[in-house]
Chains A and B, each alone.
Chain A
Amino acid sequence: MSATAEATVLITHDVGLHARPSVKFTKLAKSFAADVEIALAANGPWFDAKSIVKVMAAKAPKGTVLHIRANGDGADDAIRALIELVQRDFDEDAGHVRSA
């Protein structure tokens, strides 16, 4: 079964899609067979969501509306799982900003 799905989600995490969240995000994306891509705007450019190098290169700060699209087996499930991860603030606790 092949399908295409697309959705958007607001990044609320304090510093955006940074190192630790990116590790979780790409790991989750890789658990799906479908091709998954992200973009900071509806018209792209699109980045491979399974590559942490590409995801970090997108440099998505807090407040970004993240566009996610998937194509292939389990596309809908992949989108749903990734959106939920972003909405849960990547399962991180509050207060990761440490003063000097």
Chain B
Amino acid sequence: MAVALVLVLIVVGSVLFHLLSPWWWTPIASNWAYIDNTIIITFWITGVVFAAVVLFMAYCVFRFRHREGNRAAYEPENKRLESWLTIVTAVGVTALLVPGLFVWSRFVHVPSDATDVEVVGQQWQWSFRLPGKDGKLGTSDTRDVTADNPLGVIASDPNGQDDVVVEAADLHLPVGKPVKMLLRSIDVLHDFYVPEFRAKMDMIPGSVTYFWFTPTRTGTFQVLCAELCGQGHPLMHGVVMVDTQQDYVAWLGQQQTFAQLSAPQQTGSADQAPGKTMASGLKIAARLETVGSR
């Protein structure tokens, strides 16, 4: 009796928790509302199955609990019932899979008007690179990374000269324009994740990975690293600011190009770039030292 009651309470409690608790996703800021919708479909289907199975169990425990003189039925198989359950399950699974794959297809096919934005992860900071006037990013190589060339842009590639380099500072994006995030790392695995954008992807040293999205509202959003990347991992935060077109152009005008940064007298000027709110890797390293020596 008590057991059946507890089983019912688990179902009721779980459903109430789902509906009433304050813990829910952040307001979306990208075009990936499709993903949120797929999650809602999944919550409905799985929620119904969970409630049905556990309530059925509760009923069985109540109705068929042992009492003196009871005897169980003897029924090894029931082909009809088993086939029906298999078919119903297959239909349910298909109802989850088909919209999921449909949205995935959108996710992996980047629209042709998306602008490239490169994100470079390193322990434990984020840097960015935007194509210059030619609209093309120059090629890069981890072996070309030096103090003066922190992203390893290949100097001999003419496409790279006008690239805008944003080292260890905030990324700005214009609202309403699709962007293709090209993800690169120069040391270990990282993962560029902004909860409000709903998208994320690992960055792998030696490869370029990608995802795309369209920012749908202006604001300041926190970047989190979502792949364990060493002891500074939880402090590897960054900032993406989604601007109006006007603000974006103003910000872009203040940034340095690769050619400007490579000129000897300009070295290090990116560190004084305005709007810099992100802790640099070195600061994190210092903070870890303090934590470690406490």
A binds B: no
